[in-house]
Amino acid sequence: MTAIGRLPASLTLVGAGKMGGAMLAGWLEAGLDPRAVTILDPAPSGAIAALCAERGIALNPADPALAAVMVLGIKPQGLEAAAVALSPLVGPGTLVLSILAGKTIADLKARLPGARAVVRAMPNLPASVGRGATGAVASAEVTAEQRAVAEALLSAAGLTEWLDAEAQIDAVTAVSGSGPAYVFLLVEALAEAGVAAGLAPEVAARLARATVTGSGALLEASPEDAAQLRRNVTSPGGTTAAALDVLMREDGLGRLMGEAVAAAKRRAGELSG
Ligand SMILES: NC(=O)c1ccc[n+]([C@@H]2O[C@H](COP(=O)([O-])OP(=O)(O)OC[C@H]3O[C@@H](n4cnc5c(N)ncnc54)[C@H](OP(=O)(O)O)[C@@H]3O)[C@@H](O)[C@H]2O)c1
């Protein structure tokens, strides 16, 4: 990946687990100077410790400096305990970028009383391979410069969409946050249907998997939208049309997906409430 905009002059990453570690890998690949990074994580993985030693990244320094940008990658339930040690590192000029599911901007400001500029983001699992989809919302105090920095950091992990209102984060959680699981389920269901249609299980699994990854690659490479790509492979009266007649009937995939996303959004609201 090439440089992607306004990477910060210095950055403190709190929690270098699955998501934090994946974001770090993206930033380094995008050209962030490793010497500009400080990692705070009481029990870093061997891979993170090795990366820090190799690239000169400060890991758990005794006296960490006030953060220009603090990225929170810990588990949401760890915020309260972590905040005690983090609060002195957050000043009025610090940009706090949080990916903590369910933690609102108000929660973050309450736990980190020095925080003014807060960006709350919801990435998804494909961020771990640089192909994420992230929804983000900025508090009123976030400057244009800080927004550009947040966008550069988030975009190292894939697509970033800015939201008008924080309440929309629950919808992002329901669409793209949880969405990878819906796609994995599609692969499972397609493979099972293939077995029912007469294929060996391993053959059906491989065909279903390659169909979804291949269709994703085609969708990405094509200037056409999903509906047009679907029409392109559907000849009137053909086999695909026969299947789509089932999937697109009134109680078909559209209705099911609507119910699924509504359920996920409701649950996201309950968990952050
Ligand atoms: N994974 C996803 O698909 C996904 C998607 C969207 C959002 N998120 C959000 O991303 C966040 C991280 O999730 P994850 O899956 O990456 O979790 P994870 O792999 O458990 O990473 C969290 C890391 O933070 C460390 N940590 C715990 N307490 C800390 C503290 N006080 N100070 C510094 N570091 C601390 C953990 O260390 P220990 O292992 O020792 O506890 C671990 O290395 C969550 O808030 C989640 O809501 C994740």
Q: What is the rounded CA–CA span in Å between residue 175 and residue 234?
A: 26
Q: Quickly count: other Cβ atoms within 10 Å of residue 41's Cβ.
A: 20
- Please check the confidence at residue 44 and state whether its pLDDT lies above 60: yes
C-alpha 183 – ligand 1 centre gap (Å):
23
C-alpha 180 – ligand 1 centre gap (Å):
19
pLDDT of residue 9: 86
State pLDDT tens for residues 215-258. Answer: 999 999 999 999 999 999 999 999 999 999 999 999 999 999 99
Number of helical (H) and strand (E) elements in the chain, helices listed first: 11, 8
Q: What is the rounded CA–CA span in Å between residue 154 and residue 146?
A: 12
For atom 27 of ligand 1, the residue with the nearest CA is 74
Q: Which atom of ligand 1 is nearest to the CA of 48?
A: 43
User: Given pLDDT bands bounded at 50, 70 and 90, which one contains residue 2?
Assistant: very low
For atom 2 of ligand 1, the residue with the nearest CA is 125
Residue whose CB lies within 8 A of the most ligand 1 atoms, among 12, 14, 19, for a mutation test? 19
Q: Which atom of ligand 1 is nearest to the CA of 98?
A: 45
User: Which protein residues are within 6 Å of ligand 1, measured from CB?
Assistant: 14-20, 40-43, 73-76, 78, 81-82, 99-101, 122-125, 177
C-alpha 114 – ligand 1 centre gap (Å):
22
Can you give 148-171 as a three-state secondary structure string?
HHHHHHHHCCEEEEECCCCCHHHH
Q: Which atom of ligand 1 is nearest to the CA of 81?
A: 31
State pLDDT tens for residues 143-159. Answer: 999 999 999 999 999 99
Q: How many CA atoms lie within 13 A of 130 on its CB side?
A: 11
Topology given in CATH for the domain delimited by 4-169 = Rossmann fold (3.40.50)
Looking at domain 179-272, does it have CATH number 1.10.3730.10?
Answer: yes
For atom 5 of ligand 1, the residue with the nearest CA is 124
Residue ranges of the alpha helices (H) in 98-251? 105-111, 144-155, 168-172, 179-196, 201-221, 226-232, 239-247
User: Given pLDDT bands bounded at 50, 70 and 90, which one contains residue 200?
Assistant: very high
Residue whose CB lies within 8 A of the most ligand 1 atoms, among 13, 24, 75, for a mutation test? 75
Taking the domains of the chain in order of start, what are their residue ranges? 4-169, 179-272
Q: Quickly count: other Cβ atoms within 10 Å of residue 34's Cβ.
A: 15
C-alpha 78 – ligand 1 centre gap (Å):
8
Residue 20: which of 47, 55, 2 has the closest Cα? 47
- What does the pLDDT average to over 117-142? 96
C-alpha 82 – ligand 1 centre gap (Å):
12
**3-class secondary structure, 114:** coil
State pLDDT tens for residues 179-197. Answer: 999 999 999 999 999 999 9
Calculate Rg over the CA atoms of the chain.
Answer: 21
The model carries a pTM of 0.92
pLDDT of residue 271: 87
Q: Which atom of ligand 1 is nearest to the CA of 180?
A: 3
State pLDDT tens for residues 262-271. Answer: 999 999 999 8
Residue 199: which of 207, 188, 211 has the closest Cα? 207
Q: Which atom of ligand 1 is nearest to the CA of 100?
A: 45
pLDDT of residue 7: 84
pLDDT of residue 163: 98
C-alpha 75 – ligand 1 centre gap (Å):
4
Round to the nearest angstrom and report the end-to-end CA distance of the chain: 38
Q: How far is CA 161 from the centre of its chain?
A: 11
pLDDT of residue 171: 97
C-alpha 40 – ligand 1 centre gap (Å):
12
Q: What is the rounded CA–CA span in Å between residue 120 and residue 97?
A: 6
